[in-house]
Structure 1
Amino acid sequence: MACLLEFSPNGRNMGGRALRGRPEHTDAIQHSGTWHVQLKGEKVWTVRPTAELQRQAPSLKGGKPVKIHCREGDVLCINTRLWWHKTHIPAGCKLSISVARDMYLDGTRPGACDMTNIEGHYAVRPIQKGAIIFTEDNAPQLQLPRSSSSNCGVREGQDGRLVVAAKRAIRKGEWFSISESEEEEEPRGRKRKR
């Protein structure tokens, strides 16, 4: 099984308000879901079904949010592609630690265990060389890692806005990265200082 350690929003919350994790979102996953073990403290999940899940399970129509309060020793199994979700650590929680692991219930056998606590974006399908991955308007609120063997580059799009495009073919599951250099080559041979 591939595995993932979930480090956010693990931590301490000695304050009087809940410590919020990421805003409500779904994950672009290809596996069956993940199980989450609450090792220490507590974490509250707020989940609601996606439209896709409501079509598969009509009894979930309406999609009202449900709170799941995980305490030490609790295990939560969830497909985070099919459920909108967000988490928070309740006020006064001295320490919250949870671990998550991917599940493959369809018989597939993924590669080696790839653990990370680095935030980033990766290809959920193969991407052709030259394809635009992000534009100025829809870029994620996350800086891409820099690499000497980057697979993405910043360039000017046809409409004059900056885009992040594939410098080469990108395999499914490959993390996006940009050049370590401060300069990016533009299509017309000019260099732009960033």
Structure 2
Amino acid sequence: MQWRNSSTNYGLISIVMHWLVAIAVVVLFALGYWMVGLTYYSSWYRTAPDIHKSIGLLLLAVMVLRVTWRFLSSGPAPLASHGQLTRLATKVGHGVLYLGLFGVMISGYLISTADGRSISVFDWFEVPALVTSIPNQEDIAGLVHEFMAWGLVIFSGLHALAALKHHFIDRDPTLKRMLGRADA
């Protein structure tokens, strides 16, 4: 398998980043959903949010790399079987996913730094609080984070269903390309 994308297939770098992001979104959503129900006396009360923030900031770094990679190594050409509407839906859908991802991560950062404290990423390094002056920053960012997270997970599910539809109904190699097996 090649590292870079080709005109017919995704390369290993694009595939790995895609699946890392997909796994991280599911893990972060599940962790976030679970941790909001923790009580002050739970042993996970402080640990779960620290893990959530750390994974979220690492995901932000991966997404910045992923966007950069899209400019350096364009994806495979659209399949000939995909009409104009499918191509448009693909572009819009990917745009919504990217905007949703960045919206969730930026709002999470704004929640976590609203009090002016930096965020420790697994005690490896600190991410400073750069924006702290938005009125009701924590509350507003919290609402944005919650609603965007739900929207992102729902839209990601639709994205997965679309891939399965292409694979099982249309019988085209869309899903195989993201599994690195389009030639299989």
Q: Larger % of helix: which?
A: 2
Q: Larger % of strand: which?
A: 1
TM-score, length basis structure 2: 0.23
TM-score, length basis structure 1: 0.22
User: Which is higher, the Rg of structure 1 or of structure 2?
Assistant: 1
